[in-house]
Chain A
Amino acid sequence: MIRWTKGLVLGLAGLALIVLVGVVAPFVWDEAATRLTGAAREGMSAAHPLGTDALGRDVLARTLVATRLTLVLTALATLIAAVLGIGLGTAVWVSGARVREVGLRLIDVMVSYPAVILALVVAAILGAGGPAAVVAIGVAWSPAFARLTANLAASVAGRDHVATARLLGVPPSRILTRHLLPNIAEPLLVLISVCFAGTLTALSGLSFIGLGVQPPAYDWGSLLDTGLEALYTNPGEALGPAIAITLTGVLAGFVGDGLAESADPRRAGPLRRTGKAVSRAAAPAPEVPQDALLVAEDLRVSRPDGVELVAGVSFTVRRGEIVGIVGESGSGKSLTAMAVARLLPDQVRAEAAVLRLDDLDLLGPAPDRRLALEIGVVYQDPAASFNPGLRMGGQITEVLRRHRGTGRAEARRRAVEALESVGVTRPEARLRQYPHELSGGLRQRAMIASAVLPGPRLLVADEPTTALDVTVQAEVLALVKEINERDGTAVLFISHDIGVIATLCHRVLVMYAGRVVEELTVADLREGRARHPYTRALLAATPRLTGPAGEPPATIPGRPPAPAERPSGCAFAARCAEALPHCAAEPAPPVPSPGGWAACHALATKVSEGAS
């Protein structure tokens, strides 16, 4: 999917305009561009805005007319480079191992072949002129495409679905068109636009050396070349083609940047401010227990366009308590956790009435030292959350060393202890290893060790088990529980898996579409005393807890609404079997229960009916 950024639109619009000139100019100005006026090498004047060339021809007209040939040559050269390079780069990956080895070596050779000299030799072989220049530049650029394609294809070809397709005997051509090309199209598009800009200057460079387009044909390069000769007598002669080349290059660059930007999902949307939490007047807060460690009241996380991803969440975590937040992806549970840890992505901003960790106000300019020492974070993907370029030891001990001023040896000793305590074997050796040398389970243990090493008061665990297989999951859960019990560390545990939450947590918050819809004790959860239709649907979808053996788990029909399309009332109404007519329109009132509350119109109606 290409997103239309401003640069991309500007670049494409500009290029379209230039293409238009290229199409039209030869019809309109050809006569002016070739007529010998007899006034050779005249300066700029009203009749000739950029002056005339050595034969007395109008430079402006020639520059405009040259647009077509220049664009055609540049596009052809780019095409040759792309077709040759991408063809070779992908062919290598869809063929057998031996051919691939040879092909990769061949690409090595191509890359090592001096491109400029290759272009010169090719131009010499074919005889100076447009076709030679096109082939020369195209051939010279193709190794870049081949290398990039091979590298990209390597990563895609290693993916499971491609490997599976190959095992199933899907023919190479189909693997190529179905699996390889679509997955690497965007970086290639970027390279094509870069190549286009590069080809443009390379073609003019060939003209400078005398191997470019030959008279009577002329492109911007050859115009610039002859124009530069007259730089001191009529700068206009060089000015026109120089501007044309540069402008087109800049526009192609814009297109490249725009494509690259839209290919990068992390830079989605125009973004304005960072996510430092800002206090604002809020709805009346629920009562805060005496031993509350973390207090969040009316926490909101919003996109720059004002759409709220988390829409007023209030909760507390008591000392030594494990609070779970459960919900489908997109429910805002991870954003809530990251807002607490003050690690929100740059694109979103958070605000709250209250957000504090004991006496530390998380809305103000909290000192780095306290944040680092008092909040430990365990991330979802242990493979991605360790820096691949640094050894484990340095990363695990970093907080201790920087914020506690612990010495190197002492920090390592404590890191070894911490690793041992989370069940990592050969801890000394692990510290010297790089993240990629550890298995996924080991990495997550190490991450937990790293998070608890400074002795945090709150551990924020953002889906720490999602990326792990089931046996490792159980070990990690046991580890979190152990740390909680041993050190009294409070835990805010995020998961989409209600089963996981049920085995670990003391108290559970159920989030749906940016709001907490139910809060309940784990005992109520386990024993099926959930009251909100969504929570019950979630439980029904989880086989281990409620479903009778042999009966397939029920699925929840439909999908959660997108953040911008959430109704003002209950967002679950559209999928809810018990929905009442006013559900979606009016905010659901919280209905208290012994261990928590649930926000549901149907429930409120039932309760009031029961009461009356």
Chain B
Amino acid sequence: MIRPRPAVPAAVAVSAVLTLAACTTSAGPGAGPTSGRDGTAGAVFRFAATSDANTFDPAKGTAATDYSLARLQYATLVNRDTGNKIIPGLAETWDATPAGATFTLRKGLTCTDGKPLTASAVAGSLRRFADPKTGSSGVVFAFGPGAPTITADDQAGTVTVTLAQPWSDLLVGLSLTNAGIVCPAGLADPQALARGPVAGAGTGPYVLADVQRGRSYTFTLREGYPAFPAYAPQGTPPAQLKLSVLANESTAANQLSTGGLDYVALTGPDAARFTQGGYTLKTAPLPRMFVVFNQREGHPGADPKIRKAVAQALDPQAFNKVFGGKGEAMKSWSDSTSECASTDAALVTATDPAAAKQVLAGVKIRLTGTNGVANGSGNAYVQEALRAAGADVTLRNVDNATWASDVLADKGEWDLTVMAHLNFAGTLTSGALLLTGPPPPRGRNFGDLRNDAFTAGMGKAMAAADPAAKCAGWAEAQQALLGRNDVVPLATVPVAFVYGKNADGAVVNGTPDPTTFRIKG
């Protein structure tokens, strides 16, 4: 359903998912699957991305292809497993509180040039990640607002992060690829790091060996890499990974079925071709869709009655059907797989078109949405539903870049948008950051929401010392937000991850982790 455009802007790029590719072991498209049945070195795993990488610098990555490249080359201190539990990465153990954490590195870590990876080098990489001048959009997920202090003890092999204010998402944030650790060789010249692979900069299991911009990237496995995530599926790590840029989803599916690829991510009906025949199919939500109002003075969304009526007019179940009905009708701004996300139907305004009609009749609403997800048919549903409730709705279906400018930067005229939230972190925080704080141009609160109870609840969650307290904070925040209908939860759009007959890989937090691609044998 999600329509992979030949090229997808970084911003919304649902197709970004596709970037996380697939694998094929066959040598050539015509050769048929020859995948390392024996598991010997030399086996190639082929996968595809929908768009080219924007940058090779892990800190600056904004789209799925960037994340794939970063994940393979630059390891993170911690990882998450398939159940979203934090597990060791470069750090073997850690001691975390909302105010910070101390990480103890594994012994014998090296950079790709064989030099030892010291604690101070790790700290240096994190400091550069946190530096506002670097401009990494992942900083806020890891450290929250305010600048962290990062220190190292080379003797003990520890790195200590002290936060400016409590932020319970620290570990999650540090597991994201933006926080990938870069060796000093890479930090010496950040511009070179952004332009291509730098010798000796990597800390991950693979080295980028061959770059064909816009076409393909070939990675080779590092001998005896010690820090593979523990949850990888059975099989042998492929000696080579080849990522091809394949803009068209059907083309990728064709490649998979003819043995030219070992893994593809599919958002459309092509996934149905692989339910039989020995393929491994896994699904996960990627975009979380919800309605956000422009609550500035003079816009209909400023009126709580209208917000409630819009919520009554929209049916998340029907919206879900637009995308094939395989998603999850959400009860919050993220789905049930996110930590602490509400699944309580009572918090959400119930669908009641009749009630909506009494309020919405004749209300003029300008709906702006992105056509990056399933050609914008979700937007069309919202338009039809509101129109059925008597509103006078004009829909602007625009591409991602225009939508990002018009809505996210609030440079256009809009009353309502269907937010296609690419929740790469898989957390409530990720979406919540767009709903609080100052509006653009100073902040990210593009709808200019002023919900103090929500902000307070979020603050509690971020300062919580334990999971229960964190969820209690989030519960307050969600109740506050949903009670005022500041957002209208709709549904997730699922992505199917299809592995070829001899391939497998783990899906972590909604996206396959390419370091876990395995050749079965």
Contacts and interface: CB of A to CB of B under 8 A. Distances in A.
Contacts of B371: 128, 210, 214
Given A215-B376, A232-B272, A127 B322 contact: no
A229 B3 contact: yes
A215 B370 CA distance: 11
Contacts of B268: 229-230
B117 to A, nearest CB: 44
B375 interface: yes
Contacts of A41: 269, 324
A54 B322 contact: yes
Interface residues of B, number: 34
Contacts of A209: 5-6
Contacts of B253: 232
B339 interface: no
Interface in A46-102: 54-56
A129 interface: yes
Interface in A211-235: 211, 214-216, 222, 225-226, 228-233
Interface stretch (B80-88, B101-109, B294-302, B394-402): B394-402
A237 to B, nearest CB: 9
Contact of B324 (A40, A128, A129): A40
Contacts of B395: 214-216
Interface in B381-405: 381, 383-384, 395-399, 402
B250 interface: yes
A81 to B, nearest CB: 25
Contacts of B249: 229
Interface residues of A, number: 26
B1 interface: yes
A55 B268 CA distance: 13
B177 interface: no
A58 to B, nearest CB: 16
B235 interface: no
Contacts of B273: 232-233
A38 B318 CA distance: 9
A233 B318 CA distance: 22
Contacts of A268: none
Interface string A109-149: 00000000000000010011100000000000000000000
Contacts of A38: 321
A128 B398 contact: yes
Contacts of A231: 250
B3 A210 contact: yes
Given A229-B3, A232-B272, A216 B399 contact: no
B377 interface: yes
A215 B397 contact: yes
Nearest to B1: A54
Contacts of A40: 321, 324-325
A216 B402 contact: no
B476 interface: no
A127 to B, nearest CB: 5
B379 to A, nearest CB: 7
Given A214-B397, A232-B273, A55 B322 contact: yes
Contact of A215 (B6, B325, B377): B377
Dominant SS at the A interface? Answer: loop
A52 to B, nearest CB: 12
B270 interface: yes
Given A55-B322, A128-B397, A232-B270, A226 B250 contact: no
A606 to B, nearest CB: 91
Contact of A127 (B1, B324, B384, B398): B398
Given A54-B1, A215-B380, A229-B3, A127 B402 contact: yes
A232 B272 CA distance: 8
Interface string B318-333: 1001111100000000
Nearest to B325: A40
A129 B322 CA distance: 20
Contact of B375 (A127, A226, A233): A226
Nearest to B401: A124
Contacts of A54: 1, 269, 322-324, 374, 377
Contacts of B396: 127
A230 B273 CA distance: 10
Contacts of A36: 318, 321
A586 to B, nearest CB: 80
Interface in A225-254: 225-226, 228-233
A215 B250 contact: no
Nearest to B271: A233
A55 B379 CA distance: 13
Nearest to B387: A216
Nearest to B5: A210
B270 A229 contact: yes
A228 B4 CA distance: 13
B397 A233 contact: no
Contacts of B1: 54
Nearest to A237: B269
B399 A124 contact: yes
A543 B493 CA distance: 94
B269 A214 contact: no
B323 to A, nearest CB: 8
Nearest to B318: A36
Contacts of B383: 216
Contacts of A216: 380, 383-384, 395
Nearest to B374: A54
Nearest to A228: B250
Interface in B79-131: none
Interface string A15-47: 000000000000000000000101011000000
Given A211-B399, A229-B249, A232-B253, 8 more contacts: A40-B321, A40-B325, A41-B324, A54-B322, A54-B374, A128-B398, A209-B5, A215-B395
Please name the 3 residue pairs, one residue from A and one from B, whose CB atoms are nearest each other, closest first. Answer: A215-B380, A214-B397, A216-B380
16 contacts: A38-B321, A54-B1, A54-B322, A54-B323, A55-B377, A210-B5, A210-B6, A211-B399, A214-B395, A215-B376, A215-B380, A229-B269, A230-B269, A232-B269, A232-B270, A233-B269
Interface of B: 1, 3, 5-6, 249-250, 253, 268-270, 272-273, 318, 321-325, 371, 374-377, 379-381, 383-384, 395-399, 402
